[in-house]
Chain A
């Protein structure tokens, strides 16, 4: 479609204004992280630091056992992502490629569980995990992910529904069993969907605050998100370390998103049909 020069200019101006809204907080945070505390609360504020204090980051990192938090965050993020990818692909494969008694009812139930607010199940879940002796361990954050999650199963099932029906026929004639077909034929095809689910899960688990808040008690078990939140309240006056750790914390999801962007955009397009 042809576009006049004026309308192009207007569009770029609008795009730019919105970009400023979304980017400027990050830019400003980035520059402030290198300042002194006094500079950070100076009025009127200045954008650039008088002197670039790179040691701010090391000081912030050492102000709490963030190394431990990072290990915990990585354990939870990797543990849940592997679990989700395996369990959701198995379940999605079951729903997409087989006919069995109760399938439609079960799938309807699966979809409707997405409507249940976490507030309703969190209290009994807490008691359940307490019964298992899992409180103050990472297990309540990891184990449920090995049993699939409705939204991710739905995304993968949608993807698999698009694969032609006779796709696995050849393999079946060759005598491969259902599990071999799933593993050798469908796992490779599912790759875009596996990446999509993996990335969505990584981002949401990395950022999760409420789960760790409820299930973890000792600092040695904290995740990064929970440790970062400790700056609120007690250390409210310490702006610089808080911003430094925030920057460290937001870098991994941003990088992962930029790398996997293509899969997220395409996956979104596939899911709403």
Chain B
């Protein structure tokens, strides 16, 4: 009997056990260890040496590249995040229009998302090439002398943004499913009142999807700071380190320069910046995000899937 009761209490833990083990071994363990390492001068080979806050002090006082990379990543996030959200929302509005064949377009817009990474950087590296790239050829047809995208420090970051906007599909899909769930009668009522489509968008659609905007905002801030693969392969951080993103700097400090302790400190600063930005966004959200309950039941979610 006793054994049976033990089994009953233990069962749920048995189910979640894989995650608990994984969490300890692959997440929290490395997380704590990384924090410890950030207080050491830790070469790949040889013995680590405790330096206290040395790594952090060096970062903020001596390392010029740290500041530059931080600014580059912030700049990238500041342009990329809003731009990506606007494109995603625009596409989502397009594919929720009641016209025939929109599903095909939904598929087309999403396809670049499933090939992210190496393939995307090869594709865009080739299209944006300053000598034989097809984009500059197309621009020349309409009389524009295209820049040397990947060679000109002023334009390289634009090239990275263009290439990363290619993967806008997953965010589009999140907006799409949310807009789809808005009951049609809300719009019908607005139509009767003679509201223009633009007005309907700004006073109905936009407020209703603010929780989704918040979700997309946070996830894209986090991912824009971690952008590594694309810059590594598209520009290699250059030219003249103009696209030497923070994530790339951290990676190179660890695996190229073998300064594991210093790279850990880099990563922790990134983590803290992400946490602060997320907290700020959450804090501001009470001013601009509307949840259903606040709307006084004006909007009834369609039943079914939850």
| Residue in B18, B119, B166, B181 whose beta carbon sits within 8 Å of that of A90 in the complex | B18
Report if A98-B174 is in contact (Cβ < 8 Å); known contacts: A41-B132, A120-B31, A261-B107: no
Residues of A within 8 A of B23 (CB): 109-110, 113, 147
Q: What is the bound-complex CA distance between A241 and B199, given in angstroms?
A: 51
Q: Is the interface of B mostly helix, strand, loop or mixed?
A: helix
Whose C-beta in chain B lies nearest to the C-beta of A223?
B118
Residues of B within 8 A of A15 (CB): 94-95, 99, 102, 105
Name which of A49-57, A60-68, A74-82, A245-253 contacts chain B: A245-253
- In the complex, B290 has a CB within 8 A of chain A: no
Q: Is the interface of A mostly helix, strand, loop or mixed?
A: helix
Q: What is the bound-complex CA distance between A231 and B181, given in angstroms?
A: 45
Name which of B49-57, B76-84, B220-228 contacts chain A: B220-228
| Residue in A128, A242, A257, A270 whose beta carbon sits within 8 Å of that of B306 in the complex | A270
Contact A115 B278 (CB under 8 A): yes
Contact B132 A42 (CB under 8 A): yes
Report if A18-B267 is in contact (Cβ < 8 Å); known contacts: A109-B23, A121-B30, A231-B122: no
Contact B274 A115 (CB under 8 A): yes
Contact A3 B15 (CB under 8 A): no
Residues of A within 8 A of B112 (CB): 22
Q: What is the bound-complex CA distance between A225 and B267, given in angstroms?
A: 25
Contact B229 A123 (CB under 8 A): no
Contact A225 B117 (CB under 8 A): yes
Closest Cβ of chain B to A222, distance in Å, is 12
Contact B181 A269 (CB under 8 A): yes
- In the complex, A91 has a CB within 8 A of chain B: yes
Q: What is the bound-complex CA distance between A122 and B102, given in angstroms?
A: 41
- In the complex, B201 has a CB within 8 A of chain A: no
- In the complex, B137 has a CB within 8 A of chain A: yes
Closest Cβ of chain B to A173, distance in Å, is 15
Report if A207-B37 is in contact (Cβ < 8 Å); known contacts: A22-B109, A128-B30, A231-B122: no
Max count, chain B CB within 10 A of own CB: residue among A124, A148, A228: A124
Contact B123 A22 (CB under 8 A): no
Report if A118-B226 is in contact (Cβ < 8 Å); known contacts: A225-B118, A254-B114: yes
Q: What is the bound-complex CA distance between A93 and B19, given in angstroms?
A: 12
Contact A246 B123 (CB under 8 A): yes
Contact B111 A22 (CB under 8 A): yes
Could you write out 17 A-B pairs with CB less than 8 Å apart?
Answer: A3-B99, A15-B95, A25-B127, A25-B166, A87-B22, A117-B222, A117-B271, A122-B267, A146-B18, A147-B26, A178-B11, A209-B117, A209-B233, A239-B126, A254-B115, A261-B107, A268-B170
Given contact pairs A115-B278, A207-B119, A265-B106, a sample of 12 additional A-B residue pairs in the complex whose CB atoms are under 8 Å apart: A18-B109, A19-B105, A19-B108, A87-B22, A117-B271, A123-B263, A124-B29, A124-B33, A147-B26, A153-B19, A182-B15, A232-B121
Residues on B lying within 8 angstroms of A by beta carbon are 9, 11-16, 18-23, 25-27, 29-31, 33-34, 37, 91, 94-95, 97-99, 102, 105-112, 114-119, 121-127, 131-132, 134, 137, 166, 170, 173-174, 176-178, 180-181, 184, 187-188, 191, 197, 211-212, 215, 222, 225-226, 228-229, 232-233, 247, 250-251, 254-255, 260, 263-264, 266-268, 270-271, 274-275, 278, 305-306
Residues on A lying within 8 angstroms of B by beta carbon are 1, 3, 7-8, 11-12, 14-15, 18-19, 22-23, 25-26, 28-29, 40-45, 87, 90-91, 93-95, 98-100, 103, 106, 109-110, 113, 115-128, 144, 146-148, 153, 158, 161-162, 178, 182, 203, 207-210, 214, 225-226, 228-229, 231-232, 239, 242-243, 246, 249-250, 253-254, 256-258, 261, 264-266, 268-270, 272-273
